[in-house]
């Protein structure tokens, strides 16, 4: 049987691995820059475009936020252990979680909303999963879970609520637990 701690450990590890783009065991400023570039390019935003710059700035701010909250040894980067300990503190204080991650997720949403209609749908949603390297099956499941009102579109609030639930929920059946694939 999966315990809440096991579930959170798996989800936090998956999130850490997504952010640690060079797989060196640390989340560093360069990881955020690579992620911003990959995400922007995946949605057709040229490097140096206003959209790419906004995402890069938001990711830099998140790195600053997590370093100031999680970097216990003061080396300017966050190890897996520091990340786990810090995320546990963040999910215990959802206001802190929101302050730390919401700006980046809003910038991601804006980057993914190619046509600027305020919702993600069709190709925009498909591209999110491709950028994050998810299988088609996991992407389909994540979409079904993320689309909380069943309208085939993802609003900004649904996008954030799903990420928030991914990080905070200890329920393997919660919609957000499926965000990055089978919990």
Q: What is the mean pLDDT of the chain?
A: 89
pLDDT digits (tens, 9 = 90+) for 145-175: 888 888 889 999 999 998 899 999 999 988 8
pLDDT for 1: 43
| Element (DSSP H or E) covering residue 100 | helix 94-112
Question: 111-136, pLDDT tens digit by residue?
Answer: 999 999 999 998 898 888 888 888 88
User: What was the pLDDT predicted at 176?
Assistant: 86
Cβ atoms of 115 and 125 within 8 Å: the answer is no
Q: In 43-173, where does DSSP find H-type helix? A: 50-70, 80-92, 94-112, 123-131, 136-146, 156-168
**Which pTM does this prediction carry?**
0.87
Confidence check: pLDDT of 96 > 70: yes
* Domain assignment of residue 155, yes or no: yes
What's the rounded Cα separation, in Å, for the pair 15 and 78?
13
Whether residue 176 is contained in a domain is answered as no
Domain for residue 130, yes or no? yes
CATH number at residue 10: 1.10.238.10
Question: Largest Cα–Cα distance in the chain?
Answer: 48
Quick one: tokens of 103? Answer: 């700006």
Bridge partners of residue 119, in order along the sequence: 155
- Looking at the structure of the chain, the number of domains it has is 1
User: Is residue 178 domain-resident?
Assistant: no
pLDDT digits (tens, 9 = 90+) for 30-88: 999 999 999 999 999 999 999 999 999 999 999 898 888 899 999 999 999 999 999 99
Full domain range(s) for residue 23: 4-169
Buried b (16+ CB within 10 A) or exposed e, 77-115: bbbeebbbebbeebbeeeeebeebbebbbbbbbbbbbee
- pLDDT of 48: 93
3-state secondary structure of 78: strand
Task: Identify any residues that bridge with 79 across adjacent strands, giving them in sequence order.
Answer: 26
Give the chain's radius of gyration (CA, Å).
Answer: 16
* Residue 2 pLDDT: 46
């Amino acid at each position: 049987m999966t315990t809440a701690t096991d579930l959170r450990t798996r989800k936090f590890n998956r999130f850490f691995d997504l952010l640690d783009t060079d797989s060196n065991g640390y989340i560093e400023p360069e990881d955020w820059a690579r992620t911003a570039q990959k995400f922007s390019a995946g949605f057709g935003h040229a490097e140096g475009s206003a959209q790419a710059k906004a995402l890069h700035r938001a990711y830099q701010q998140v790195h600053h936020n997590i370093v100031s909250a999680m970097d216990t040894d003061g080396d300017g980067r966050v190890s897996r252990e520091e990340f786990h300990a810090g995320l546990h503190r963040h999910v215990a204080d959802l206001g802190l979680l929101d302050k730390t991650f919401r700006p980046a997720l809003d910038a991601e949403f804006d980057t993914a909303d190619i046509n600027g209609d305020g919702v993600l749908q069709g190709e925009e949603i498909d591209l999110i999963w491709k950028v994050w390297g998810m299988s088609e099956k996991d992407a389909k499941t994540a979409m079904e879970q993320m689309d909380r009102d069943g309208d085939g579109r993802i609003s900004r609030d649904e996008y954030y609520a799903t990420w928030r639930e991914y990080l905070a929920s200890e329920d393997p059946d919660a919609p957000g637990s499926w965000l990055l694939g089978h919990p």
